[in-house]
Amino acid sequence: MKLLFSSMFLYEYSTDMIAKAAKLAELDGVEFWPETPHFWVDRDENKLNCFKNICVAIHAPVLDLNPVSINEKICSLTIEESLYAINLASKLHAELVTFHAGKRSAKREPVWADYLSLHRYLRILKNYAAIKNVAIALENSEPNVNNLCKRADEILEFLQKYNIYFTFDIKHALVSRDAEKFIELAFDRIANVHVSYFDSQNHHVEPSKGEEVGKILKILSDYGYNSVITIELDDLGIGNIEFSKKVEILKKEANFVRSFF
């Protein structure tokens, strides 16, 4: 098992500090969001040299993007940035790249046109990932009305059709109230587990705050899960604290996760 943390928890920090946090918290590495401002401002890949000696996964860009937007220009830009993420993963020898399924532009249930866009998106990514020898994984969405792939049976259809992996987000699944169903239907596809709990504002907060998280981790352990686990925390849900305190939180939550495996 490889235990990582999401770089979004250190959103305002440099890549050097993000890599340092992984080592200080005794984690194996980081799931890197390229939108981290220190990197995104110029995309200078020299800033990623600090990740050479740790395990890296990539989370494809999502801010202001949507692969199934009604605006074709936004769809095209999302594809472009996602292909960039795959190429970046290839250069960093990353474990995998995680993608979001997107959402219908209107706050209504998705329709056939939205799913057609998602099929196009995944078909393009799958083909490019095969060329770059990169593993890709689709993440289950928040249970908002207009989100695609928020249900276990729905995401399984896409995982099987494109023969891709699954990033299982525990917090999203707990909010959906069907976390166990995701494991039952798609365990063999899981290559990354996002671990967190949620607060009253629906932020990703410390997994140790929710006993339901422990239950899901125990189930994963019983199933024999032994791949990537990512502690995914939202700094907005935890508050404005200094670097050393964030490292302490990461170390504590890492020990919490390890206790189930």
The confidence score (pLDDT) of residue 240 equals: 82
Structural domain count of the chain: 1
The confidence score (pLDDT) of residue 238 equals: 84
Cα-Cα-Cα-Cα torsion 240, 197, 101, 144, nearest 10 degrees, comes to -100
- Provide block-wise average pLDDT over 10 residues at a time, the chain (261 residues): 96 97 98 97 97 97 97 98 98 97 96 97 98 98 96 96 98 92 97 93 88 96 97 86 96 97 96
Return the exposure string of 219-254: e unless at least 16 CB atoms fall within 10 Å of the residue's CB, then b: bbeeeebeebbbbbbbbebbeeeeeeebbebbeebb
Judged by DSSP in three states, 168 sits in strand
What is the C-alpha separation between 32 and 197, in angstroms, rounded? Answer: 20
What is the C-alpha separation between 217 and 121, in angstroms, rounded? Answer: 31
Longest dimension (CA), the chain: 48
- CATH number of the domain at 108, please: 3.20.20.150
User: What is the span of the domain harbouring residue 251?
Assistant: 2-258
Question: Which residue do the tokens 């917090």 mark?
Answer: 171
**Tokens of residue 50, six digits:** 């600090």
Judged by DSSP in three states, 32 sits in strand
The confidence score (pLDDT) of residue 201 equals: 78
What is the C-alpha separation between 233 and 137, in angstroms, rounded? Answer: 19
First to last CA, the chain: 9
User: For residue 258, which of 222, 233, 221, 216 has the smallest C-alpha distance?
Assistant: 221
Judged by DSSP in three states, 67 sits in coil
Give Cα separations from 182 to 13, 108, 155, 233 (angstroms). Answer: 34, 23, 9, 21
The confidence score (pLDDT) of residue 136 equals: 98
Residues in the chain: 261
Rounded CA Rg of the chain = 17
What is the C-alpha separation between 137 and 159, in angstroms, rounded? Answer: 8
